[in-house]
């Protein structure tokens, strides 16, 4: 797998990863399947959505848009449909099932039969993002302003009528329905009638905002070029520079911890402490594009070298987040009834072996006798486990020593 631009989970719980030049890779919970241009999908996938009928839609660079109905691929281009423009930057499905395409100098709506093109002074330049708010209004962030569509009327906003900056790269919504727009240096917040411009720090501290996120407490988090910005109680702002420069993505796990991705590492905020991860299963997560939380509460980190799966239950601010390489091995692996785990220790002590499924639920806990320096083995009975992938975690003297991936065969 190469650069991953987008992540989407469909109604059947499969995960779709849009790639830079090789179509998509789909994960069904057990296996990855790569779908290439020869299958009918075009190579550069910027964004993915699903309509009310369960069709998947893919926004492509240079090749228009592609629909997958579960069996057949249909490509829509300027030469064979009313889509008009072959460069599609973003895509979204509204509450009525219409598909909206963000392209250059216009947005396009497809209702299943007809293509409708919309353009005005603020729907111009690149359409950078499409956001549907809690009242089903659509918001479009562009190079020349922000446009709201209420189902009937388009309303454009620029610096002339309240916006902090005409460039908008990301849009979000807070717990009380205010719309947040991220641009260069400052944040514009719309309460339904007026805009408020927020400049939390001196202009120049930020070059751009990349993602806006509301956590389970309603706290707003913003990924920016100079760190992570948080708005707390009484609209107070906190800048976290511990995450480093150029933070492109963030999300929250089931335990309420904030995960952030930058140009060369992943950061996990656990309470007041931060953990830093420069190596994810042998891969440096260069330029994290997206951190996605799936329906099983697993975290997926999409970056320039592929995608990494994080298991929140195994992560603390001081330890690695996924199945890392260790000094342990298992045989047989995959196994049918039992497997033996062998590991080398450089200290002796008391230990336990915990086994987790990929949702992070512990399914086995085995206290071990006093372990010795050097080679140790333990055989575990997995005859009653469902087939699938598991994670064995060895804790020595209360600390995690090794993690190993084990597979129960059908």
Q: What are the tens digits of pLDDT across the range 230-284?
A: 987 777 888 887 666 678 899 998 888 899 988 777 887 877 767 666 555 555 5
Query: Rounded mean pLDDT of 160-177?
Result: 94
Long-range contact set of residues 398-401: C-beta below 8 Å, sequence gap at least 24 = 400/319, 401/326, 401/343, 401/345, 401/351
**What pLDDT does 322 receive?**
37
Q: Give strand ranges (E) for 279-318.
A: 290-293, 299-303, 306-310
CB 391 within 8 A of CB 405: yes
Q: Is the pLDDT of residue 207 over 80?
A: no
CB 221 within 8 A of CB 245: no
Token pair listed for 78? 């300027």
CATH number for the domain whose boundaries are 4-314: 2.130.10.10
> What distance in Å separates the CA atoms of residue 42 and residue 1, rounded to the nearest whole number?
16
Q: Is the pLDDT of residue 155 over 90?
A: yes
**What pLDDT does 324 receive?**
35
Name the phi and psi angles at 340, rounded to 5.
-110, 130
Higher pLDDT pick, 142 / 240: 142
CB 214 within 8 A of CB 220: yes
**What pLDDT does 153 receive?**
95
Q: Is the pLDDT of residue 321 over 60?
A: no
Q: Is the pLDDT of residue 320 over 50?
A: no
Q: What are the tens digits of pLDDT across the range 10-65?
A: 999 999 999 988 889 999 887 888 898 767 788 899 999 999 999 999 999 999 99
CB 291 within 8 A of CB 298: no
**What pLDDT does 319 receive?**
40
pTM: 0.78
Look at residues 90, 77, 84, 13 and name the one whose alpha carbon lies nearest to residue 48: 90
Angle among Cα 268, 274, 279 to the nearest 5 degrees reads 60
Q: State the span(s) of the chain assigned CATH 2.60.40.4070.
A: 328-408
Q: State the span(s) of the chain assigned CATH 2.130.10.10.
A: 4-314
Q: Which of 184-198, 311-325, 359-373, 393-407 has the highest mean pLDDT?
A: 184-198
Q: Is the pLDDT of residue 297 over 80?
A: yes
Token pair listed for 97? 């099932």
**What pLDDT does 42 receive?**
82
Q: Of 28-32, 272-276, 382-386, 397-401, where does mean pLDDT reach its minimum?
A: 397-401
**What pLDDT does 298 receive?**
85
Q: Is the pLDDT of residue 216 over 50?
A: yes
Which CATH number does the domain 328-408 belong to among 1.10.620.20, 3.40.50.300, 2.60.40.4070, 1.20.1090.10? Answer: 2.60.40.4070
Residue 233's SS3 state is: helix
**Residue 146 forms beta bridges with which residues?**
141, 157
Query: Rounded mean pLDDT of 345-354?
Result: 80
């Amino acid at each position: 797998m190469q650069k991953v631009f987008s992540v989407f989970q469909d109604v059947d719980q499969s995960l779709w990863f849009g790639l830079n030049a090789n179509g998509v890779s789909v994960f069904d919970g057990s296996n990855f399947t790569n779908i290439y241009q020869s299958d009918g999908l075009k190579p550069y996938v910027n964004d993915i959505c699903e309509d009310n009928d369960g069709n998947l839609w893919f926004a492509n660079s240079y090749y228009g848009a592609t629909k997958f109905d579960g069996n057949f691929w249909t490509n829509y281009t300027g030469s064979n449909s009313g889509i008009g423009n072959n460069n599609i930057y973003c895509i979204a499905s509204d509450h009525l099932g219409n598909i909206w395409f963000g392209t250059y100098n216009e947005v396009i709506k497809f209702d299943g039969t007809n293509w409708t093109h919309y353009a005005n002074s603020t729907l111009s330049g690149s359409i950078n993002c499409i956001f549907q708010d809690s009242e089903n209004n659509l918001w479009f962030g562009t190079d020349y302003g922000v446009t709201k569509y209420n189902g009937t009327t388009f309303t454009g906003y620029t610096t002339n009528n309240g916006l902090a900056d005409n460039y908008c790269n990301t849009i979000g919504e807070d717990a009380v329905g205010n719309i947040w727009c991220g641009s260069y240096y400052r944040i514009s917040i719309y309460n339904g009638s007026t805009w408020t411009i927020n400049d939390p720090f001196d202009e120049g501290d930020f070059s751009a905002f990349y993602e806006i996120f509301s956590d389970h407490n309603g706290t707003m988090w913003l990924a920016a070029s100079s760190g992570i910005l948080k708005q707390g109680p009484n609209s107070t702002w906190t800048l976290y520079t511990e995450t480093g420069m150029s933070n492109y993505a963030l999300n929250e796990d089931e335990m309420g911890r904030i995960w952030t991705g930058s140009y060369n590492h992943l950061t996990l905020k656990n309470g007041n402490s931060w953990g830093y991860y420069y190596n994810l299963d042998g891969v440096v997560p260069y330029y994290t594009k997206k951190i996605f939380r799936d329906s099983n509460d697993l975290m997926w980190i999409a970056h320039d070298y592929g995608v990494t799966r994080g298991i929140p239950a195994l992560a603390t601010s001081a330890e690695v987040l996924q199945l890392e390489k260790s000094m342990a091995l298992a045989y047989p692996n995959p196994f049918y009834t039992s497997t033996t785990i062998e590991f080398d220790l450089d200290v002796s002590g008391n230990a336990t072996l915990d086994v987790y499924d990929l949702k992070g639920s512990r399914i086995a806990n085995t206290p071990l006798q006093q372990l010795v320096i050097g080679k140790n083995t333990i055989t575990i009975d997995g005859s009653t486990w469902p087939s699938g992938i598991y994670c064995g975690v060895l804790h020595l003297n209360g600390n995690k020593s090794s993690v190993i991936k084990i597979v129960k065969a059908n």
